[in-house]
Structure 1
Amino acid sequence: MSLRSGLLNLPNLLTLGRIAAVPLLVVLLLFESRSNCIWAAAVFGVAAITDWLDGWLARRWQVVTVLGKFLDPLADKLLVMAAMIMLIPLDRVPAWAVFCILAREMLVTGLRSIASSEGIVIDASNLGKYKTIIQMTALPGLLLHYDYYWLFGIEWELFHVNMHNFGIFYFYIAFALTIWSGADYLFKFSKVIAK
């Protein structure tokens, strides 16, 4: 069987790989250390790249499947939510913001399911796509968390960045986009259902 066809084509296998990365990410974050943070960020980064790659391959090879349409957003949500939830006890993200993000995801998924049962498709909005991109930017910074710097010589610092500050900056942008896109879905849903 070719990796370009069938139910378990390469794009779907990449998506399944992203789901398989979630427990590894969780275990790495259970035992906080600088090296575990680096490994967790690497696992998250590779998984985030597969999010783009599986969609690109599916469209390019024209192997978009119902299974892929179901698994892809599920894998994204599992990956992002696992990272955010595991960052709460490490005091890297506020629990209230993670709750709001999780509530939005459940609300939008529910609304899309209701619309789908009525034969109505509410497509992913650009706001939702931007939200995902910004989340995928914020989380590696929050996972890396510590200060990183390179020295040039003994006393001259060439590069210094606090990854937590980088991550939390983008986290709050993602949070705003999450609320905005959630309200947008709610508006679209009410408009479509009212017809």
Structure 2
Amino acid sequence: MARPQRIVLVRHGESEGNTDETIYERVPDHALELTERGRKQAIAAGEELRAVLGAEPVQAYVSPYLRTRQTFELLALHRSSLRVMEEPRLREQDWGNLQDVEDIHRQRQARAAYGHFFYRFTQGESGADVYDRVGAFFETLHRNFERPDYPPNVVLVTHGLLMRLFCMRWFHWSVDEFEALSNPCNGESRTLLLGADGKYTMDRPFERWSWG
């Protein structure tokens, strides 16, 4: 089994939905684009990532949302050995169709009280639902690891909540531990590094919620 040396999780750059909540009433979530700031964040993330990866081969898995695809392109991981797969299971948590801003606020408050993992949006998913599809993606990922020519680097371009749930599943964190963590900022990454003992560790932790 050719287990990768690095598994890099990258959150997309700032999108239109991060700066204008009313856009969810007019534009599908999957079709939101990066803002100019988001493009700069993606370019900066690419510069950092290329400095670490050098010219090593890369297998990339990208959420099909427009903002994640744009982020991936701006990472500029150009190399002949690059393999790219669009992976729908890495998509954002579904809220369900076009949305009403007042309902978004109401449901976010309800989710904060109920818990991010178990709360299910009226027409969408719970965090637990996303966790389940992350688990299904793991089955594909581990099958791919069995290829003798599998690249030493994996890059996943995805969303903040999914990054936390990926690590929760990978490291067997409890629901309470997941709930205590906050999403990375737009354009941020976390890297899982393979150690000499055959176990992965994360290069830096997620920030924890501040209750003060």
Task: Assess same fold via TM > 0.5.
Answer: no
Higher relative contact order (CA 8 A, sep 6+): 2
Normalized per residue, the structure richer in helix is 1
- The structure with the greater share of residues assigned to strand is 2
Q: Which has the larger radius of gyration?
A: 1
TM-score after normalising by structure 1: 0.30
